[in-house]
Structure formats: structure tokens, C-alpha cells
Amino acid sequence: MTFHSPTIPAEPAVGSARDWVKVLAKYREPNQLRSSYELAVSFVPFIGLWALAWWSLSISPWLALGISVLNAAFLLRLFAIQHDCGHGAFFSNRHVSDWIGRVLGVLTLTPYDVWRRTHSIHHSAAGNLEKRGMGDVHTLTVAEFREMSTFGKIHYRMYRHPLTLFGLGPSYLFFLQNRIPLGLMSSGWKYWVSAMGTNIAIATALGLVLYLGGFMPLLLVFLPTTLIAASAGVWLFYVQHQFEETNWDQNEDWQLHDSALHGSSNYDLPPVLRWFSANIGVHHVHHLYSRIPFYRLTEVLRDHVELAEAKRMTLMESLSCARLHLWDEKSRKLLSFAQARRLYGK
């Protein structure tokens, strides 16, 4: 069976990425009332559904599980708000944003200060082939893959398999990797405090749940909510940069703003999914100007049709992105293993 990867449709010329940065600056200021509202309509339902799922255990474990699955969408949205806090985009007061982010980090199992630093590195190096490895999905070029040993190729194939990326990977990332400041182990006490403080808060909360309700709330409420939200979050992060006509360059050719605009997708989701993902699919705009609050990203698309059409990818088109694995520097496209083999042999 021939595999055809999703091709982003022809898009209108969007002009200079640097010029867009100047245009987007006017959208950067958050509305304090709107931010408070967005936090409330995400946090209150999350806590309410968590409590309802726990209470439902006395009626039916299946009912509790169903409510927990639904609640994963609100946890995903809280992570998106934590993400905005990390960029200083949610409240004008950075101190307020940081402490909201730290509290949300307990719910998302993500130490805020560690994540903020690694995510900042991702923004500053996305698409740079010589600065891979921090806050991104590991991606090899075709040439690098062909030069690997058999064991190395098997390892990379296993890593890029959807079961690993969207099944085992999120569990490892949120339950294990986030427990220590990986990548920042020798970067100062701040990141250890962030990781260990978050761990203590998580352990205290889960210990209290265990004491009051036993294992069932952890098994049928905490675990499904967290795991489904984690997998959805990893999928969103994946398709934001892992699509056929993304952008990777060697350091000497790499430009920050060009990479942001051309190496990030415009994930056009249905309205409900767009709401629960807090517009993070408008990723090309977000990477160009990360200080824009998520609820203003739709303003940008409404006001600038060029950006609304640029790098646009639908939900159905995005599904095939899971079968793209290697960056081809010659065709400047992300290819599947099969495509690379047809073009270059083993």
C-alpha cells in the first residue's frame, strides 16, 4: 500500500517573518478579567468533575471512569494555561503568572520552573538541526539515519512508533521524567526546588486521596484523567512541528523567526477541540510571538487572512503525521521510513 503523507495546501504569501513580529506586537497585552475568566472556567469544572467522579465510584466504577475521561479535556486546558503563564502571556504581573503556573504544575505533574526553562530553549532553537535534544521530539535526518548501526536504527524506529510516542512516552514523561530537573541537573538550585516542591505537593495530594478513599480514586479517577490528558498534549506538541512541510536548517542557515513561521503548523481543529486545547493549534503565530495570550490568537487569524491560511492543517490531515519520521535535507520535507527507503535505498 502506498503511503501519501499530508501535504499542506498551497498558501498565500505571508511576507517576512520579522515584519509579522512587529504586526503581532499589538496583540500581546492580556486582559486581566478575561484571563481570570478563562482560568475559572477551566479550574472549577476540573475540580468539580474530579469530585463527581470520586463520588460516582459508589454508584458505578464505569460512570466514574467515564467522567474521568471527560475531565482529561479540562486538565489539558489547564496545562495550556500553565503554558501561557510560562510565557508571561496570561497576566501582566509576572509574579502572579508564575505562581498560578506553579499551582497548575501540581495538577499537570509538571514542575513549572523546570518546564518553563526547557520550553524556552525549545522556542529559541526549534528547527535548528545543531540544537536538537531539549524540549522537542527527537528527529533525525535521512543521512543521519542511514549512517546508524542496525541497533541504532531499531532504537529510533521504536522511539518514533506511535505506541511509544503517544502511549508509553507520555506516561514516562509525566510520571517519571518530570520528577527530576532533567536537562537542568547542574543549572542551579531553583530547578531542583521546582521539581522537588512539585513532587512533595503531588505526593501530599495523592496521599490524602489514598487515605480518604483508598486505591479506587487513584485507579479510576486520577490515572485515566492524567494519562489521557498527557497523551493528547503530546499529540498536540507533535503535530505542531512534525508535519511534511515543516522547517529544519543547519545552524548557519537557521533563522529564528523564519523557523517559527514556517516550521510550526496551523492546526485547524473543530471548535470544541480548539477550546479545550486553548488555541495552541495556532502554533505558527504562537512561535512568532509567544507573549500573545491564547484567547487573542483567534483575533490574529481573523484580522490577517494570510496567517489564517498559512501552514493550515485539518484534524484528518494531521493523522498521517504520525507516520513521518525523517527530515530530508534535499527535498526539505519530513518523510516516512518507507518514503526515505524508496528515494535513497536502505
Q: pLDDT digit string (tens) for 67-117?
A: 999 999 999 999 999 999 999 999 999 999 999 999 999 999 999 999 999
User: Which pLDDT tens digit goes with each residue over 258-299?
Assistant: 999 999 999 999 999 999 999 999 999 999 999 999 999 999
In contact, 286 and 280? CB cutoff 8 Å: yes
In contact, 243 and 8? CB cutoff 8 Å: yes
Mean pLDDT of the region 200-218: 97
Do the strands 266-268 and 326-328 form a parallel or antiparallel pair, or are they unpaired?
Answer: unpaired
200 pLDDT above the threshold of 80: yes
Please tell me the predicted confidence (pLDDT) of residue 4.
44
Please tell me the predicted confidence (pLDDT) of residue 1.
35
| Residue 3 pLDDT class (50, 70, 90 cuts) | very low
Rg of the chain, C-alpha, whole Å: 21
Q: How many CA atoms within 13 Å lie on the side-chain side of 184?
A: 26
Q: How high is the mean pLDDT of the chain? A: 93
11 pLDDT above the threshold of 60: no
d(CA 25, CA 303): 13
d(CA 134, CA 126): 9
User: How many helices (H) and strands (E) in the chain?
Assistant: 19, 5
Tell me whether residue 200 is exposed, middle or buried, using C-beta atoms within 10 angstroms of its C-beta: 0 to 12, 13 to 18, 19 or more: exposed
> pTM value?
0.92
Please tell me the predicted confidence (pLDDT) of residue 12.
47
